[in-house]
Amino acid sequence: MKKIAILGSTGSIGTQALDICRRHPDRYRVVALTARGSRDKLFDQVREFRPEMAGLTEGIDSSEIPEDLKFCRWMTGKEALKAAAAETDAEQVLVSIVGIAGLQSVMDALEAGKQVLLANKEALVTGGHLVTDMARRKGKPILPVDSEHSAIFQCLQAAGGNRPEKILLTASGGPFRTWDRERIEKATPAEALKHPNWNMGAKITVDSASMFNKGLEIMEARWLFDMPEDRIQVVVHPESIVHSAVVFRDGAVLAQLGLPDMRVPIGYAMAYPERLETGVKEPDLFALGSLTFTEPDEEKFPALRLAREALRAGGAACTVFNGANEEAVAAFLREEIPFGEIARRVEKALEALAGLKADSIGEIMDADRKAREIVRK
């Protein structure tokens, strides 16, 4: 039986991970759960899975803990994340919290010798060099949970030691795939939040519409698979059946296919190298009929160009890219700026903060703060 801690247990990834624990009670023991502010949902999870500790990062007074849940050790704020990541006897730590806070949690878990199941892009986007160095020193390679990176990881299991030549990172294209540039510029939050294939949170859904999400995934793939950005090719695939692929030197391409359901990559990371029943059906290839692939339009979606420029710039540029985008997306969702302004504000932040270092978590956090300030101004 594996002991698992889930950071971000009330979100989409966390709840689906708990569904897998529910399906396999003989395989998993949940020892820690944390959430941001969804206290009632967390209370229900604690009642069902009875972890040793639980926490709300936005804080909770001890008097607010229901009487029937006081068997559990409750913590608040950043200390709750640290305790769940490093101070329980969990063997696996699923980091599915949103934002740059995931970086410290990943580092805490690795430092404590835990196996990290990563569903937080920001940890590798902002501190990929720190995370991969720590994982290497601890002998604990990161197991990816993002559908695309899990697909690449699965394909690499058949590599037999052969070095891949290129990664094909698939993208649905989001709701604006067929729109012209002028229409995209004026898109509303309601339009941006209508993803054709996936059910995700507001921020990541807007990122899919702008393709900033794919820019972040290029950065993530660069660190997870030690692959230069010029050998990571984005392929628009609106059916979201091929989750990504790997090209080898002999011309062979290995791809991972499946229905767009996150329980597959979550379950693969949790059970690796085994495969468990997840409740997900296989795709009906006869019903699908055909699959399509096209090149992304970087004029309509400048996030892809900006992501590659940030990777090539090095230092804290990827942190600036991420922080500026988060701040701009928040302003867009508040209807303070048009959709097209998101990329322009990120580009301005990258220009203004060129040359910042990222040799420590402190420098990374400082770059993140500065990027957000520029976007707000």
Domain identity same for 134 and 156? no
Contact (Cβ atoms closer than 8 angstroms) between residue 231 and residue 245:
no
Residue 200 predicted with pLDDT over 70: no
Q: Give yes or no for residue 199 having a pLDDT over 90.
A: no
Distances 243 to 19, 124, 172, 202, 234 between C-alpha atoms, Å? 22, 20, 9, 21, 11
Is the pLDDT assigned to residue 196 strictly greater than 80? no
In this structure, the dihedral spanned by the alpha carbons of residues 144, 149, 153 and 155, taken in order and rounded to 10 degrees, is 150
Alpha helices in 53-186 (DSSP H): 77-82, 101-111, 121-138, 147-156, 181-185
Report d(CA 214, CA 264) in Å as an integer: 20
Question: pLDDT, tens digit, for every residue of 334-369?
Answer: 999 999 999 999 999 999 999 999 999 999 999 999
| pLDDT tens-digit series, residues 264-312 | 999 999 999 999 999 999 999 999 999 999 999 999 999 999 999 999 9
Rounded CA-CA distance 122/339 in Å is 22
Whether 287 and 345 share a structural domain = no
- Tell the residue number behind the tokens 């009330």, with chain if given: 10
Contact 240, 170 (CB under 8 A): yes
Closest CA to 125 of 265, 373, 320: 320
Q: Of 234, 256, 291, which residue sits at a domain end?
A: 291
Per the structure, the count of domains in the chain is 3
- Say whether both 25 and 138 belong to one domain: yes
Claim to verify: residue 93 and residue 166 sit in the same structural domain: no
CATH no. for residue 15? 3.40.50.720
Specify the pTM. 0.94
Q: How far apart are CA 218 and CA 91, in angstroms?
A: 28
Please check whether residues 228 and 354 belong to one and the same domain: no
296 occurs within a structural domain: no
Contact 97, 80 (CB under 8 A): no
